[in-house]
Amino acid sequence: MAWEVLLETSGGVVVGAFTEPRNFKYTRQENSFCELEFETYDVYDLNLVQASPHNRRIKAYRDGVLKFRGPLQTPLVINQDGAKIIARDYFATKAAQPDDDGAAEYTATIYNITIDIFERMGIDAFIEVDTNDPGAAITRKIKAGQRIDEFLKLSASTNPTSGLWFRIDPQEGSVPNKITWYSYSERVPNAQARFEYGKTTLDNCQGFEIQSRRIINKVTVRGKGVSATVEDTDSQAEYGIHKLRLRRPGVDTASMATAVASKHLSPTPYTIGHFEPGPNAPKLFDDYDVGDKCQAYFKVGKLAYLANDLIPTRVEVTVENGVENVAWGDDIVANKTRRKAKRVTAASSRRYTKGRP
């Protein structure tokens, strides 16, 4: 896949293209910012960026499709070996500012809450709120001095039946980025995104690793005058009660405490830590994106591991000698495969079988 990296002014005027970007890495995340990083040794490229680094943005296309747009990060260091360029979208900068207009409590959809905050803080000039409104009204309180990005991340939840999540994307025009909110019920299984290893499978991965993790099936969060407990009774019946208690002084509503508790619930003892896609594996952007539901099926002899609703929350794209490589971060959500009529409300999954389910 071909990436084209351009430099533009903060007003959107393209002033040049990078001729030799090396050690290229693009990071895309759910509920957070995107980042582009590369190095350049070309004199022409160095002249481009050093002229006015505080007034420059990076714009990157993949096969002609815009995939990143955001300002250069400073300090910009240039030495005898060249320059390392780091750019992040505006969620990493404009949304990182504190709310200085005083505390406010909202009872509205997250779509309307985000619009109000962005307009009030002037963020809407850099990040547009996409028209997708993911559902019912919620109650959220933002404190005076609280960072906007932290408030929005806390408003997102990993509960697969009632949670919220968002993505930041680039766009053409005067507003360079947009934020799109989704409900977890909008996560649609992607039939194209199947990662498999072993005989009698699609065998499109070159390896995998399964990491064990601590069972947490009862979480209590204590905030400022509020508390909430979230638990998985099915997990408790199977594995016993495994508790986690957290203190979060910044949490001051019951709904926020519940959302934080849900994020830390881990009712089963295994999750996928890493797998290595092969050349025939599904391709990022072409077959799936961050936040999409994928499937993993790994088989070694009679031992098989199936993870339905596997959700990549962070991916890293590197380009070496024109070849694009994709790695998933460790933070992967995989809903537990249901057996009989069990109800599970958190991340992580394990299922062993003697053959393909």
Domain regions of the chain by residue span:
3-88, 94-186, 189-213+269-353, 218-263
Q: Looking at the domain 3-88, which fold is it?
A: Phage tail proteins - horseshoe like beta roll fold (2.30.300)
User: Whose CA is closest to 190, among 55, 75, 284, 58?
Assistant: 284
Using the predicted structure, report yes or no on whether residue 188 has a pLDDT greater than 80.
no
Residue 232 DSSP class: -
Amino acid at 128: E
Using the predicted structure, report yes or no on whether residue 61 has a pLDDT greater than 60.
yes
Question: What CATH architecture does domain 94-186 belong to?
Answer: 3-Layer(bab) Sandwich (3.55)
Question: Which pLDDT does position 162 carry in this prediction?
Answer: 56
Out of 22-26, 189-193, 328-332, give the one with best mean pLDDT.
22-26
Tokens, residue 49 = 């960026």
- Residues pairing with 176 in the sheet: none
Out of 57-71, 154-168, 261-275, 309-323, give the one with best mean pLDDT.
57-71
Task: Give per-residue pLDDT as tens, 294-323.
Answer: 888 888 888 887 777 778 888 899 988 878
CA distance 343 to 357: 20
Question: Using CB atoms within 10 A of its CB, is residue 267 exposed (0-12), middle (13-18) or buried (19+)?
Answer: buried
Cβ atoms of 127 and 175 within 8 Å: the answer is yes
- Contact residues for 321 (Cβ-Cβ < 8 A; gap 6+): none
User: Whose CA is closest to 109, among 138, 80, 69?
Assistant: 138
Question: Which pLDDT does position 357 carry in this prediction?
Answer: 33
Question: Which pLDDT does position 75 carry in this prediction?
Answer: 81
Using the predicted structure, report yes or no on whether residue 336 has a pLDDT greater than 50.
no
CA distance 191 to 335: 16
Cβ atoms of 310 and 294 within 8 Å: the answer is yes
User: Whose CA is closest to 14, among 58, 47, 64?
Assistant: 58
